[in-house]
Amino acid sequence: MRLKDKVAIITGAANGIGLAAARIFAREGAKVAMADFDEAAGNEQAAELSRDGCDTGFFQVDVADRTSVDKMVESVLRRFGKIDILVNNAGITRDGMLHKLTVEDFQKVVDVNLTGVFNCTQAVLPSLIQQGAGKIINTSSVSGLYGNIGQTNYAAAKAGVVGMTKTWAKELGRKGINVNAVAPGFIETGMTAKVPEQLIEQMKVLVPLGKLGLPEDIANAYLYLASDESNYVNGTVLHVDGGIMM
């Protein structure tokens, strides 16, 4: 098993890509701390994995609130004794064209998608530094690399994630900590489920593979970056987008 006895925190783990990652990490031997704002869904999914024999637990968190994040990390350390992997997967959208985008919607997306990554990473960092090893995996987006109409806030936050990833890779590499990011393309999640079918078909046309990705496609990229197979990979943004941005 590729993550045997590793302890992984996955944010946004109650559904979508985060849930797929929790399942795959647990299957590969990791002890998984499923962190999410949605307490009901998180407890339900963690209980299901536990019934399947996985060592998992749910930890309620608001990644935009540093006090909440610190409490979550403390609880994970009490439960599992260490932290080896952090997957900063939690994210939200509040789309709108620039002239209609509210200050509140701009700030909320930045708070969760950018500040939340900072909060979680800084909170786990003392543990990773103390043990002299760790993997940090951040979730960016093709929108953050190339922009996207109607996503000023989301693109700005995801671009910031890339900048933080590369900075932390330079700062933390000599401390034994690898920092990388994944940039998903169009993925079948709860977010895309709200998109009109006509637009979904237009998205598929843009993708050379002719289809949207699955949550498992991103989760498998997380798995690679969390495993020993990526020990010499640092500061990389791994595109998992079906070739849309070639």
Task: Specify burial of residue 236 (Cβ count, 10 A radius: 0-12, 13-18, 19+).
Answer: middle
Q: Residues 154, 203, 214, 188: is their CA dihedral positive or negative?
A: positive
Report, as residue numbers or ranges, the catalytic residues.
Answer: 154
88: confidence class by pLDDT, cuts 50, 70, 90: very high
pTM of the model: 0.97
What per-residue confidence (pLDDT) applies to 18?
A: 98
Report the distance separating Cα 180 and Cα 132, nearest Å.
17
Position with higher pLDDT, 193 vs 122: 122
Decide if pLDDT at 203 tops 90. Answer: no
Give me the percent of the chain exceeding a pLDDT of 90: 92
What are the Cα distances from residue 65, in Å, to 21, 115, 125?
23, 9, 17
- Mean local confidence (pLDDT), 7-12: 98
Domain ranges of the chain: 7-240
Q: Are 181 and 169 in contact (CB under 8 A)?
A: no
pLDDT tens column, 20-45: 999 999 999 999 999 999 999 999 99
Decide if pLDDT at 196 tops 90. Answer: no
- Mean local confidence (pLDDT), 63-89: 98
Q: At what angle do helices 215-226 and 16-27 cross, to 10 degrees?
A: 50
pLDDT tens column, 150-170: 999 999 999 999 999 999 999
Architecture of the domain spanning 7-240: 3-Layer(aba) Sandwich (3.40)
Q: Residues 178, 183, 188, 194: is their CA dihedral positive or negative?
A: positive
